[in-house]
Structure 1
Amino acid sequence: MSHQTARPEPGRPIRVLIVDDHAMVADGIRALLETYDDIDVIGTLRDGQDAIDRCADLSPDVILLDLNMPRMNGLQATEILRERHPDIAVLILSMHDAPEYVATAMRHGAAGYCLKDQPSDEIRRAIDMVVAGNRYLCPGAEEALEPAADGSEPLTSREQTILLLLAKGRSNKEVAHDLDISVRTVETHRKNLKRKLGISSTAGLTRYALEHGVLQGTGLLH
């Protein structure tokens, strides 16, 4: 699985943005990465909302993003960052190695999942892989991405939100306005919804939402 990322020009350092609400952790990772001449740590931010607000100005190649943060967690931030900046790789840097954490992060659009207690050279390898457009998973995490027993793909929280709005009769343009994303991004989500659910029409999506209680806010897929 590869991600659409813009590789740095030859000779330019990899621009890395660290987002973690624990200052000691962020400073420690920054110190590790600054030992590499070809990595430029362009900043450390404290939560996902800060990352979204500052991303366009800072123009990172890779964002190292913690999962558990105030205001906006890493999963929500990853989805929005991937929508608005598909050329930037989001690398989750977490202390949690449980398969469900890894799988959920990757479903939300992360290019990789790295553990905070890994050696600095492994974190460096993760950065190199996602910048090159490849997926990185921490050792032992591959089984987390095995498909469900029925072969289905779970919907992300963003896809569930878009399904709800479409089922309420909102147009692509209205959904884009509501979520502050582009119409093209909504169209991509709509295609992914149809593919994942095996549904060929918008009417079918509405019917699915009705049958599964989406319009009553009872959730959808895990």
Structure 2
Amino acid sequence: MTTRVLIVDDHPMVAEGIRSLLESYDDLEIVGTLGNGQDAVDQAIALGPDVILMDLNMPGLSGLAATEMILEKQPDTRIVILSMHDSPEYISTALSHGARGYILKDVPTEEIHTAIETVMGGGEYLCTGAKGSLQPKISDGRETLTSREQTILLELAQGQSNKDVANTLNISVRTVETHRKNIKRKLGISSTAGLTRYALEHGVLQGTGI
């Protein structure tokens, strides 16, 4: 079975380089290369890719925003972020937006192919560099929240609904729900009241008047 792949990167030489390398695999069909997130959103339905290799930082619509918008319309599309950034926040945020994989641009072609195979098989794929960056940091026996999770915790602890938080941060309600679930898991807290209590006890609400 042939996997249809769309490559989205604002550097034409990078996109075409990846295309030429992946075209050597008989089980892959490269359906196109695009230079920005908006084009990816606009053409995803027409091109019908199974997998999208998506750059993060592009002019106009970012790779994260494009990922979210594409998955809202085509939830079965597998999106793998292809980036030069290996910071934990970039990786966690990409996964929370629905990406099924995260690989760095300097990985061998074989690893890109492996990532595509893995997400097509229903799994998630992080390259070695990304896995190393994403090792949980422990503080008082708990995993450390990313800065985005801390921002959302602050909003939730002030009594904001998922919809309110989504509007404030210009993200989807589904993304807020995913972050909320991750925050509760990391902190071992099951209720909104518990999140508020944690925020009060750990100084998250300092300066808010609460």
TM-score (normalizing by structure 2): 0.71
CA distance in 2, matches of 1:214, 1:43: 49
Aligned with 2:143: secondary structure? Answer: coil
Q: Is the 8 A contact 1:168 1:215 kept in 2?
A: no
* CA distances 1:185-217 after superposition (whole Å, capped 9, x unpaired): 64444333222233332233345456314885x
User: Residue 24 of structure 2 is aligned with which of 35, 39, 43?
Assistant: 35
Superposed CA deviations along residues 88-141 of structure 1, whole A, max 9, x for unmatched, are 332222345xxxx15334312043333334443332122112221233333455
State percent identity of aligned pairs: 56
| Regions of 4+ moved over 6 Å | none
Distance 1:164 1:51 in 2: 33
| Equivalent-residue separation in structure 2 for 1:126 and 1:181 (angstroms) | 26
Match of 1:106? 91
The one-letter code matched in structure 2 to 1:169 is G
Structure 1 unaligned residues grouped into runs of 5+: 1-10, 217-222
> In 2, Cα distance between the equivalents of 1:68 and 1:120?
21
**Distance change >3 Å, CA 93–CA 171, structure 1 → 2:** closer
Paired residue type of 2:204: H
Q: How far 1:152 sits from its partner (Å)? A: 0.7
Equivalenced residue count is 198
Q: What is the CA RMSD across the aligned residues, in angstroms? A: 3.4
Question: Within 1, Cα distance between the matches of 2:155 and 2:39?
Answer: 26
Structure 2 unaligned blocks of 5 or more: none
Paired residues for 1:111-150 under 5 Å: 111-139=100-128, 141-150=130-139
Residue aligning to 1:194: 184
- What corresponds to 2:195 in structure 1? 205
Does structure 1 retain, via aligned residues, the 8 Å contact 2:53–2:81? yes
C-alpha contact (below 8 Å) 1:176/1:186 kept by paired residues:
yes
Farther-moved stretch of structure 1 (22-31 vs 126-135): 126-135
**Deviation of 1:72 (Å):** 4.0
**C-alpha contact (below 8 Å) 1:164/1:214 kept by paired residues:** no
Distance verdict in 2 for CA 1:130–1:23, change over 3 Å: same
